[in-house]
Every structure is written in C-alpha cells, then in structure tokens.
C-alpha cells in the first residue's frame, strides 16, 4: 500500500546524545615498498604501469583519472608505458683525436633511488592523479579501494596499501566527505639494470563533516517530565485500578449506566484517572500535549495504559508506556451492595468467533446468552414462586465458551457463593470464578459442563458473627459449550478381539496361548516386537495432528481454512493461513460414529472431497459419483452410531464437525489401498500437510502451554486433537488480550480507513493544512456485525448509509524538495480507544491528481510504488538471517534493478526504532517518480520472516534420493542422512538439525529395498516418501526415495577387491580407442563374475582411469562401484604398448633444444680456433712492418 499504518512509536526515556557535524579536512598519506624484478636492459620489453578496478563496481567508474598518464585510458583502467629514459641504451660519442671518430657506447641506467625529485624528463612516471571522489557513508565504502589494482608489468604494487588507505578513511565520525588531490606517487630503486623495488604512496586530502556528540538537554527535560508522571502513576495506583461500579463487572467499561445513578463504569474510570492526571500533566510541560490513553482486554477492562504526547525534538507524536498489564478491581458502590442477588450475581461471557453469512467473514462477538425453558426449569420456577422469596430461582442459561462468575457480597459477610455445592474463594467480599467445559477432562477432574450456581444468605449472629442458618437462596443453572462433538473414524475391518494379528499390534507384552504374560529369566514381561504404541486401540489407526496450510491468495476471512463458512480461530502472526486437523489412514473403509460422552444439540457434520492431485495447495473439489455427490460447499452427513455402517469411497475426505457457533473440528480420512498402520504424511506427499508440532502454529502453541499453562513436553505430546483445539482457542484469546495480535476484522477496518484517506487526498478532496481537523465518511457495512454497540456509537455509525463518520487530526505536514508531501494523520482519541487503535496513518511522498497531471505534461513518470515496497519485503523475507547492514545493502540496489535506470540513486535514512525510509533521487530533470519514499520497519519484517522460515527450503527443488541398490534399512537410513547433509553443504545434519517424522515407510515397505532397473521415466519408479522435521525451529519437508540401478542382477562376487584380473594390454594412443578396448577387455574378464563396466562401475572414475593410462606406460588403476550392489574397489593393471608415441609436444621441444645446444657447443671451437690463428699472424706481420718503418 502507498501509505503506512504505523503503531504510535514507543518512547524510551534514555539519555540522548545528539550528533553535530562540522566541516574538517585531513591529509592522508600511506606508503609501502614492493619487491619487483623489471628488466631495464637494452631492447628489453617496455614495462607498463596499469591502474584498474576489478569487477562490476559503480565506485570504480569515473574516478580513475588518466588524462595525464599513459597511452591507454577508459573508465575501468588506465595504462602507462614507462618512458624510454628508464632503459639502458647505446649512445654515440665523438672521440677527439687526430682522426675524430664517432663511437657507440653502451650506457647502463645508473643504480640508485629515483623519485619525483630526481629529474623532470620522466615526471609523469612518478605521479598519477585521480579524479575527486564524493562518498556517502555506505557499507560498500571500503570495497571501492579493495577493487583498485596497480601493477608494474605483472608485479602487484598496491596490495595492502589500498586496504591501509581505506582504513584511514573508515572513521565512524565522518560523513559526506570528498577526496581531493587524490594521487599515487611511485619511487623506484634500480640495481644492475633492473627495477628491484617500487615504493608506492597513496595520498589525498579528505574534506568531510566530522561528528561530535552532545547531550540533548531538551530530551533531558522531556525525560524528566515523563518519568515524573510514571513515578506518580505508580505511587497512586501501584499496578491496579480500583474502579467503583453501580452496575457490576459484566461488560467492563462498556457496561450501560445505571438508570438510577446515571453513571457508567467508563465514567467512574475516567473520573479516577482524570482526577490524578489533570493536575500533573501540565507540570513543566513544554507544549508536550500529553493525553492519557489506554487499551482494553476481552473483558473490556483497561489493560495497557500509556501517555500519548508530542515530541518537539523529533516532531512527532509518541507513546510512553505506564503499564502493559494493569490489574482491575471493581469496587461495588453502596448503591450496588443494596441491590438484589440477581443484580449482584453476574455471568460474564467469552468472546467467540462466528461466521457472518452476509459478509462471509469470521466475526469476533460476545457469546450470546441462551435461556433454556425445559420442563425442569418450569418446575423450579414454580417452586420458587411458592417459596415466599426464600428459595429464588433465576433460570437455566447456555453459553459458548468459558463463563466468568462474579458476585459482590454484602458488608455483613453473610452471603456465600457455591458452585455445584462447593464454596468459591472470596477476597474483599468478592467471589470470582470461571466455569469451563470440562467434558474432555478425566472424571476425577470433573468432566462436566453443567453447573449449579447458588447464593446462600445466612442469619448472622451479631455477637459471635457466626453464619448459622440459611435464610435465603438464589440458584441459576449454567451450561458452557466449548467442546465439539467428537467424530471417530474406525478402520471398518478393525476387530482385535477376534483377529489375533490385529490384537498383536496393540499388545505391549508377549502373551501365551492362554493370554498370560510371557516372562523372561528375571520374571519380567517380554516386550512384544510387533507392538505399535501409535495405533489407537479403539480405531485401529494412527491418528496424526496436522497443520493444513492454505496458500490461496485472498483475505484471511475467506481463506483461513479454504472452506466456506468454516470457523477456525486465526493467528495473524502466522504468514500462511491454515487450520489444525486430525488425519488417519483407514484402509479400505471407515466406520463413522459420534462419541457418546460429548453430546451437543444441533451438531452438524459436513463431508468434503479433497483434491489429492493438487500438490501445491489444499483444495476442496466437486465429487460427482452417483449416489455420493459432494459439492465444494460440503454435503451434510447423517452420523448414526452403528458398527455395521461404513463409508468406503476411495479418496481423501474431510469431515467438519460444528454446532451452532464457535470453533469447529476437522477430521481427514484417507481411504484406499493403504495400510492403516501408516501415518498420514507417510502416504500423502505434500508439504502443505505439516505435522502440527513441527509447524510454526504448533511451536507457538507449545510455548504458550509450557509458559502459561505449565504443561510438560510429555503432557503436550499426549494431548488429544480435541484438547489441542481447546487450548488453541485459549491461546488465541490470550494473545488478543495481551495485544500481541489484533482481531483481523479491526486490522482490515484500519486498512479500509487508510485507503479512503489516501483516495481523498489524491483526488483533491482534502485541502491539507497543519493542525487541520479532517472529517471522513467510510462505508463499514462489512464490519458492522463484528463491532460492539459501543464501538459503533464511537464511530458515529449511520444505519441508513452504513457509514462511520471519523475525525482526524493532521499531526505533521511537510513539503519535500520535489513538492510532494509527507503527512501523518491521527484518529480522534474518542474513536481510537474503543477500537484499541494505536495507529498513525502516515503518507510519504504523496501528491494529488492536479500535481501529477502537471508533472506528466513535461516529464516522464517512472512507476515504482507497486513494486518497490513489495520488493523490499521480499528481499528481507528471502534473507531473514542476514545482518541489518547486509539487508540494507541489498535494498540499496533495488531501485536500479526495478527502474532499469542508472540515473536513480537510493538513499536509506534511519528513522529510529528499526524504522527506515527509502528515498529515490535522480539528477535527471526529465523524470519523476509516482512515489519516491517508502517506509518500513526492518525488525518487524525480519522477525516475521525468521518465524516463518522453513529450514528445509535450502533443499534442491524436487529433491529425490536414489538408494542405488541398498537392500537393508540401516544402510539406507545412514545413506539418506548423508545425502541430505551433502545436498545442503552440511547445513542440515541428522539428529542435530533434523529428524525423521517416521521411518515406518522404509521399514515396512520391502519393495523399496528391492532395486529395480533404471526406467526412462523415474516418476514411474517405486517410491516412498519420508517426512523430515526440524529440531531447532519449525519446519517440515517430504523427500522422495527411489531405488534404481542399471542392472538388478547381483554379481556372484560383490566384493570387487577380491576379483583378480589379468593385466590389460593396449596398443593404441587414441582416447576413444583406449576407452573402447579397455571396456571390451574388462567385460571379457568380468563376465564370469556376472559383472560389466557399464552397469556396475562409475563413469567419472572410469574417465580418471583413462587419463592415467594415456600418460603412463604401465598403470595401476582402481575402479569404484556405480551402486551398492558391489563394494570396495576393482584393481587392474594396464600396459600401453603404444605409449612412446604419446610423448607430449613439450617433451619433444625440450629434446630438440637440448640437441641444438649440444651442436652449438662443437661449432664454437671450430670457428674460434681459425680466427685466433689468423689474428696472431696479422699481429706479427703488422709488428714487423711497423719496426721497418721506424728504422
């Protein structure tokens, strides 16, 4: 959605240190020496310095520079060839003398240290200037330097230096800085015509904003103000509101005012808090506009209380929590104490969910009070009338859900409340208890749902204060209904009394022929190896609790179960909707019956056909078999308890059991050619059927049962389906009362209000001004049935138009640089509190239609609002365990990927309390965004993603494990574990991260341990599915197991190491011929062992053997099994007679070079000796002539 419905930010009174920034500059210089070996001799290749960035990194573009440096330059690299002056060379010098001659001399580059001060001729070889770089504080800041690479030829002359330079820049107190005069300096050390060392210096001037920290005095004043309020609140109320009441406790603050006193519970409460708050709220008030706010629980009692105030520092309204769970004590006024028993005895119904057929929604309502006028009631009323008011009878009533009982006794303490003839605890003359439907409990714990509620008034002795004689009674009968009728599905052929094989499955110890226990030598009963503790002795099936996930993409009201008019208490904290079901495999037929211990009037059972072929979702389908037509809306099923009745149509069937209102139950029965001793998930292979305690819903319920109900793990695991459903209702009520989740109807109402607000703003129907009051009319016809009378009154509901009239305050309004507006609206306090709304309606970067039309006339509109927000959530959801910095880095790159443009920049601003704002900016004046700001709460989205993460999502799609010939359970189990670990790169380890839901499919299915030959279509191979359950967090997966091999014939020797083969002799140097000849000779020898290469040895291992044979004259090779029909390794010796022709080109060239060098060695003396002789002869001839000349 374009807007954001925010909870009012929670304020914490911590000391606040503000950041202030001042412009600063600093020169940074880092140097490092690198050993190199670059030849500077005459005609040596000219060395090059290359400066480049590696990888696809936007920071590397545009700042490399290069205009002063080198012969090659682009955005990603710049290259400089060292000047000729670095290299040794010949020079001609004029030799003075009688005959001046030009002489060619070899001039070496002098040894020494050369830097920029050494000379001007080659100045550009010493310095490279980069372009200026402007940085924002970013997770990728250091990467820009780590991707920089500087080389002299192939010698790295920047490693370590760039990292040290980046470290100098990584100052957390700097932001928004620019590097100027950014350069590289090179200094060279030359020795013996080689550059042997380079000193590289990276330097720059950094201009930046430096952060300094200052304690915020305005925040200190605000903290002092709020802490003073909280201290006085604790002193005044001490965690409990004592609220006077003229009418009693029923309906809490929503109770109607007494017609006599004309004062309601809400008025008493408001007087109580206003008398305390009004005098102190203006003490040291710096225009904080503080108001006292509260939310209510399911009893309509104040629960969470807080101060809503304006924070002038952050310029927004925030909430300061005073208490998250206030206790309530209702204090009867003198007026109430004088009222009759019937006025002082109150029955407080529970909130329940019901289905509204008009709006097709689940609605949360107070359980209606139903009066029962049967013969017994009439008789008791008649007796009451004749008793002259000494034995009063109030009637018989029926409720859904738990019923609270409250009674305020007189000051004389001579009135006592009894439940089923047992006195109730009393405190401060107040009796209080809860009546529950206990029909699922053991008889020792009651197992009842009908109660006699009785008040007895005693004659009290004024001296002894003794309540001695009953003078008046008042009696009411109450029935509570929380438990559905229990539908049982028994395997029709189940008759363990007359079937010894069936009895054996449910008998824990071995019995002899007379039915007596068989004892061991120590006198202990011998365990029955066939005993299966999970088989229900009554039904002959294994009942399994499931969370059935419904993935249909629609609102929760219609899709919680995927079944029209179904009622299941929703948990809005779970991402995927679904429901709890009990499933059983019932073989070829089921006998259906209703448990006689739980009797409810108006019980209805509906039958639905489930589409087993849909592997992607739970789906109800039409079923048109003659005589058994089943519609998608379900078909009513008349259940008659008769052991001879059966239902045997194959398929997956859902039976839904309901009574008039409240939670329904769901039973799945699989009928077909299946073993009744199997678990449902052993046979039905779909990840939307999750064992309940392995699901997120199951994990959440288990935590509640342990923490709030103090149940042990063992007790939880043994809970029946009906008890789990009962606890699930209590768990949802608990979360609603604690405001951990909200009634989804109220969440949807907030979204409707939000949508209407946005439409009016965009359509120019609201002229926005600061501190403006806005009136909004909203159609709430879909929500009327889920709102109380008090809520409708607060919303100023108009029956004629089905509209609410809402009042908003403009809390904050600002105009952005692109003329869009940021806006926060607040629903009026008198309308928010009855709805338990703690919302702000926030809009960022919003424009009206006139502004959009004007922009479109001159600019191109870039559409992002329908994509970016969802992509932000998707990115976080896909990576729930990354750090916040890593997630923000990924979000940082979303804008360019969504818009497909390089001229769009993403700026992420921290807003506090894990709130972030993504803002899109561009330097392109020819475009604008339909929305350029998005807010999100990183922590909330990340926590939701973590809670809903399935650890098995890292398994490959359609993951299948081939047992490849394994024929025993132990080896199969170990192999499956190892394959799962290997497929997840060690992230899922058996007994640490996961376990099997059941190994029964593997243990009982002998077919899967009989390998079958490879099929062209592996989908046709025999298969089983094993369920995996996560041990550390919620998670479930079904994996497919097959067992195929190329050849099912077992060799007569399975240990390959024991097979001795003759050496293989080859006479070829071609790979294809080697392969063909090797396979042929191997197969000729292996045939006597019922083996061959193709079916029993691995191809990869065979290819390695070929490579070894090609490069060696004699090779000892080992071939490994291709499957588990054999074990160990086959060892063979191979001799390649044609190996001499396989000498590599490298060896040939080496030989030629060696021979050439040998020839040169002989030639040199042959040439040199004649030259020497001739030179000596010439010398003597010239010497003789020279002497003659002198004479």
Lowest mean pLDDT among 145-154, 236-245, 1063-1072, 1167-1176: 1167-1176
- SS3 of 352-371: the string is EEEEECCCCEEEEEECCCEE
Among 115-124, 492-501, 541-550, which stretch is predicted with the lowest mean pLDDT?
115-124
Query: Mean pLDDT over residues 298-306, rounded?
Result: 90
CA neighbor of 487 nearest in space, from 667, 610, 729:
667
Mean pLDDT score, 802-817: 89
**Strand-pair partners of 76:** none
Angstrom distance (rounded) from CA 545 to CA 680: 9
Q: Which residues pair with 479 in a beta bridge?
A: 398, 450
Q: What is the mean pLDDT of residues 1052-1076?
A: 87
More confident residue, 442 or 996: 996
Q: From the CA atom positions of the chain, what is the Rg in Å?
A: 44
Residue 67: which pLDDT band, with cuts at 50, 70 and 90? very low
CA distance 41 to 90: 10
Q: Are 367 and 297 in the same domain?
A: no
Counting residues of the chain whose pLDDT is more than 90, the rounded percentage is 40
Distance of alpha carbon 1061 from alpha carbon 808, whole angstroms: 92
Contact 769, 761 (CB under 8 A): no
Q: Are residues 227 and 208 in the same domain?
A: no
Q: Is residue 289 part of a domain?
A: yes
Q: Which residue, 371, 366, 365, 351, is CA-closest to 479?
A: 371
pLDDT at residue 98, rounded to an integer = 66
Q: Are 412 and 461 within one domain?
A: yes
Please check the confidence at residue 14 and state whether its pLDDT lies above 50.
yes
Identify whether residues 409 and 285 lie together within a single domain: no
Give the pLDDT mean for 310-331: 90
685-692 mean pLDDT = 89
Q: Where are the alpha helices (DSSP H) in 243-387?
A: 265-280, 334-337, 341-344, 375-386
Instruction: Report how many domains make up the chain.
Output: 8
Q: Identify the domain boundary among 271, 305, 325.
A: 325
Same domain, 1019 and 1081: no
Mean pLDDT of 835-842: 85
Region class of 896: left (phi > 0), else alpha (psi between -120 and 50), else beta: alpha
Please give the DSSP secondary-structure letter assigned to residue 509.
Answer: B
Residue 63: pLDDT band with limits 50, 70, 90: low
Judged by average pLDDT, the poorest of 1-10, 848-857, 1128-1137 is 1-10
In a domain, 1011, yes or no: yes
- Position 1173 pLDDT exceeds 60: no
Residue 615 lies in a domain: yes
Is residue 655 a part of any domain in this protein?
Answer: yes
- Classify residue 866: in a domain, yes or no: no
Percent of the chain with pLDDT over 70: 88
pLDDT at 708: 92
Both structure tokens of 62:
């545009």
Instruction: Give, as one character, the DSSP assignment of residue 563.
Output: S
Of 612, 617, 598, the C-alpha closest to 659 is 598
Q: How far apart, in whole angstroms, are the C-alpha atoms of residue 1099 and residue 1082? A: 14
Average pLDDT over the chain reads: 84
How would you classify residue 262: left for phi > 0, otherwise alpha for psi between -120 and 50, otherwise beta? left
- State whether 190 and 226 are in the same domain: no
Q: Which residue has the higher pLDDT, 116 or 489?
A: 489
Q: Kindly report the CA angle at 1123 between 1120 and 1126, in degrees rounded to 5?
A: 70
- Chosen domain end from 813, 829, 851: 851
Scan for tokens 């499957």, then name that residue. Answer: 1123
Q: 816 is in which domain, residue-wise?
A: 741-851
Query: For the segment 227-263, what is each residue's pLDDT rounded down to a tens digit?
Result: 999 999 999 999 999 999 999 988 899 888 888 888 9
CA 767 to chain centre: 41
Kindly state the average pLDDT of the residues 109-115. Answer: 87
How many CB atoms are located within 10 Å of the residue 906 CB?
A: 17
Q: Which two tokens stand for residue 91?
A: 């020079």
Does one domain contain both 55 and 191?
yes
> Is residue 936, in this structure, part of any structural domain at all?
no
Phi-psi region of 483 (alpha: psi -120 to 50; beta: other; left: phi over 0): beta
Q: Say yes or no: 680 and 774 in one domain.
A: no
- Considering the domain architecture, whether residues 625 and 690 belong to the same structural domain is answered as yes
Instruction: Provide the total of helices (H) and of strands (E) in the chain, helices listed first.
Output: 27, 59
> For residue range 877-928, what is the model confidence (pLDDT) as tens digits?
889 998 888 888 888 878 777 887 878 888 888 776 678 888 888 888 899 9
883 falls within a domain: no
Question: Looking at residues 756-780, what average pLDDT do you find?
Answer: 86
* pLDDT greater than 60 at residue 2: no
Same domain (yes/no): 312, 351: no
82, exposed or middle or buried, with CB in 10 Å at 0-12, 13-18, 19+? Answer: buried
Q: Which residues contact 143 (CB under 8 A, 6 or more apart)?
A: 57, 59
pLDDT of residue 52: 83
Q: Is residue 961 domain-resident?
A: yes
1129 plus 1177 within the same structural domain: no
pLDDT (0 to 100) of residue 57 = 42
| Across 111-125, 657-671, 895-909, least confident range | 111-125
pLDDT at 284 over 80: no
Looking at the fold, whether 600 and 698 belong to one and the same domain comes out as: yes
Least confident segment among 135-139, 560-564, 610-614:
135-139
CA pair distance 426, 433, nearest whole angstrom: 10
Using the predicted structure, report yes or no on whether residue 285 has a pLDDT greater than 70: yes
Torsion, CA 452, CA 453, CA 459, CA 460, rounded to 10: 130
| pLDDT number for residue 1187 | 39
Domain boundary among 449, 481, 513: 481
Positive/negative CA dihedral, 701, 703, 708, 709:
positive
pLDDT digits (tens, 9 = 90+) for 689-735: 999 999 999 999 999 999 999 999 999 999 999 999 999 999 999 99
Residue that has been written with the tokens 């005095």 in this structure: 217
Q: Write out the E strands in 986-1059.
A: 994-996, 1012-1013, 1023-1030, 1036-1042, 1044-1045
pLDDT at 22: 84
Task: Report pLDDT for 268.
Answer: 96
pLDDT digits (tens, 9 = 90+) for 1100-1112: 667 777 777 877 8
């Amino acid at each position: 959605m374009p807007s954001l419905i925010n909870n009012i930010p929670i304020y914490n009174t911590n000391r606040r240190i503000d950041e202030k920034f001042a412009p600063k500059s600093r020169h940074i210089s880092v140097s490092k020496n690198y050993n190199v070996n670059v030849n500077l001799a005459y005609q040596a290749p000219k060395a090059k310095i290359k400066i480049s960035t590696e990888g696809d990194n936007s920071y590397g573009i545009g700042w490399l520079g290069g205009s002063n440096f080198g012969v090659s330059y682009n955005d990603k690299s710049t290259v400089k060839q060292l000047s000729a002056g670095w290299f040794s060379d010949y020079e001609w010098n004029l030799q003075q003398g009688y005959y001046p001659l030009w002489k060619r001399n070899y001039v070496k580059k002098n040894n020494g240290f050369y830097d920029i001060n050494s000379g001007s001729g080659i100045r550009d070889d010493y310095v490279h200037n980069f372009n200026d770089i402007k940085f924002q504080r970013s997770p990728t800041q250091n990467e820009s330097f780590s991707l920089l690479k500087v080389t002299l030829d192939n010698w790295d002359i920047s490693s370590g230096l760039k990292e040290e330079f980046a470290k100098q820049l990584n100052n957390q107190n700097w932001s928004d800085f620019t590097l100027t005069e950014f350069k590289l300096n090179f200094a060279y050390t030359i020795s013996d015509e080689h550059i042997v060392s380079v000193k590289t210096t990276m330097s720059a001037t950094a201009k930046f904003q430096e952060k300094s920290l200052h304690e915020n005095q305005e925040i200190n004043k605000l903290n002092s103000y709020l802490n003073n309020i909280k201290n006085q609140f604790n002193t005044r109320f001490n965690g409990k509101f004592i609220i006077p009441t003229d009418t009693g406790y029923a309906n809490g603050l929503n109770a109607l005012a007494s017609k006599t006193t004309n004062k309601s519970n809400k008025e008493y409460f408001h007087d109580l808090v206003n008398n305390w708050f009004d005098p102190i709220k203006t003490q040291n008030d710096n225009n904080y506009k503080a108001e006292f706010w509260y939310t209510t629980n399911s009893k309509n009692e104040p629960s969470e209380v807080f101060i809503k105030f304006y924070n002038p520092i952050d310029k927004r309204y925030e909430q300061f929590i005073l208490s998250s769970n206030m206790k309530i004590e209702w204090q009867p006024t003198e007026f109430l104490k004088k009222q009759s028993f019937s006025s002082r005895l109150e029955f407080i119904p529970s909130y329940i969910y019901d289905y509204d057929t008009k709006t097709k929604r689940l609605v949360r309502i107070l359980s209606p009070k139903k009066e029962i006028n049967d013969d017994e009631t009439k008789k008791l009323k008649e007796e009451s009338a004749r008793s002259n008011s000494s034995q009063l009878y109030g009637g018989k009533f029926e409720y859904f859900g738990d019923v609270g009982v409250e009674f305020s006794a007189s000051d004389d303490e001579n009135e006592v409340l009894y439940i089923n003839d047992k006195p109730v605890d009393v405190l401060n003359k107040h009796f209080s208890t809860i009546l529950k439907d206990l029909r699922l409990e053991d008889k020792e714990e009651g197992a009842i749902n009908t109660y006699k509620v009785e008040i007895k008034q005693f004659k009290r002795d004024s001296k002894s204060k003794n309540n001695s004689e009953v003078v008046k009674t008042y009696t009411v009968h109450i029935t509570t209904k929380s438990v559905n009728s229990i539908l049982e599905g028994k395997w029709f052929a189940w008759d363990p009394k007359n079937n010894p094989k069936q009895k054996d499955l449910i008998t824990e110890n071995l019995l002899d022929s007379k039915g007596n226990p068989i004892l061991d030598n120590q006198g202990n009963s011998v365990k029955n190896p066939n005993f299966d503790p999970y088989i229900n002795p009554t039904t002959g099936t294994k009942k399994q609790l499931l969370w059935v996930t419904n993935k249909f993409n629609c609102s929760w009201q219609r899709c919680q179960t995927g079944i029209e008019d179904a009622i299941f208490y929703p948990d809005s904290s779970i991402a995927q909707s679904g429901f709890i079901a009990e499933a059983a495999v019932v073989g070829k037929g089921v006998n259906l019956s209703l448990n006689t211990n739980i009797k409810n009037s108006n019980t209805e059972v509906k039958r639905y056909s489930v589409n087993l072929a849909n592997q992607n979702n739970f789906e109800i389908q039409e079923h048109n078999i003659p005589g058994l037509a089943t519609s998608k809306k379900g078909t009513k099923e008349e259940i008659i308890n008769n052991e001879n009745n059966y239902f045997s149509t194959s398929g997956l069937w859902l039976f839904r059991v309901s009574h008039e209102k409240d939670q329904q139950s769901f039973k799945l029965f699989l009928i077909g050619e299946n073993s009744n001793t199997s678990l449902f998930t052993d046979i039905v292979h779909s990840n939307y059927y999750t064992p309940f305690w392995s699901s997120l819903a199951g994990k959440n319920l288990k935590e509640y049962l342990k923490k709030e109900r103090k149940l042990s793990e063992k007790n939880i695991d043994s809970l029946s389906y009906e008890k789990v459903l009962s606890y699930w209702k209590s768990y949802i009520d608990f979360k609603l009362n604690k405001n951990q989740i909200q009634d989804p109807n109220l969440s949807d109402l907030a979204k409707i209000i939000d949508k209407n607000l946005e439409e009016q703003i965009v359509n120019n129907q609201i002229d926005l001004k600061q501190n403006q009051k806005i009136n909004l009319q909203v159609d709430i016809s879909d929500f009327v049935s889920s709102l109380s009378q008090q809520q409708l009154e607060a919303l100023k509901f108009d029956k004629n138009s089905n509209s609410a009239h809402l009042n908003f305050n403009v809390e904050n309004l600002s105009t952005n640089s692109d003329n869009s507006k940021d806006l926060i609206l607040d629903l009026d306090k008198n309308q928010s509190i009855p709805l338990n709304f703690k919302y702000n309606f926030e809009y960022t970067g919003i424009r009206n239609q006139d502004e959009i039309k004007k922009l479109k006339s001159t600019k191109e509109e870039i559409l992002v609002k329908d994509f970016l927000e969802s992509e932000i959530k998707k990115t976080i959801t896909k990576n729930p365990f990354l750090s916040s910095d890593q997630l923000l880095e990924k979000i940082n790159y979303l804008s360019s990927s969504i818009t497909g443009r390089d001229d769009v920049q993403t700026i992420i601003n921290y807003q506090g309390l894990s709130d972030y704002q993504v803002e899109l900016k561009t330097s392109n004046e020819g475009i604008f965004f339909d929305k350029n700001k998005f807010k999100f709460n990183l922590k909330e989205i990340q926590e939701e993603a973590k809670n809903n993460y399935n650890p098995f999502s890292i398994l490959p799609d359609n993951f299948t494990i081939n047992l490849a010939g394994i024929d025993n359970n132990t080896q199969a189990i170990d192999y499956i574990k190892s394959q799962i670990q290997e497929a997840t790169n060690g992230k899922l380890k058996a007994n640490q991260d996961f376990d099997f839901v059941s190994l029964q499919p593997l243990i009982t299915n002998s077919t899967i341990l009989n390998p079958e030959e490879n099929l062209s279509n592996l989908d046709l191979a025999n298969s089983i599915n094993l369920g995996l359950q996560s041990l550390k967090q919620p998670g479930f997966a079904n994996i497919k197991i097959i067992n195929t091999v190329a050849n099912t014939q077992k060799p007569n020797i399975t240990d390959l190491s024991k097979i001795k083969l003759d050496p293989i002799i080859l006479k070829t140097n071609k790979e294809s011929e080697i392969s063909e000849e090797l396979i042929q000779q191997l197969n000729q020898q292996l045939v006597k062992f019922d083996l061959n290469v193709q079916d029993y040895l691995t191809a990869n291992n065979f290819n390695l053997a070929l490579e070894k044979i090609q490069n060696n004259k004699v090779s000892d090779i080992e071939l490994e099994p291709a499957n588990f029909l054999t074990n160990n390794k086959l060892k063979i010796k191979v001799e390649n007679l044609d190996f001499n022709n396989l000498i590599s080109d490298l060896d040939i060239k080496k030989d030629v070079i060696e021979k050439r060098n040998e020839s040169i060695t002989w030639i040199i003396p042959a040439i040199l000796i004649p030259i020497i002789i001739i030179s000596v002869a010439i010398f003597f001839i010239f010497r003789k002539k020279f002497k003659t000349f002198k004479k």
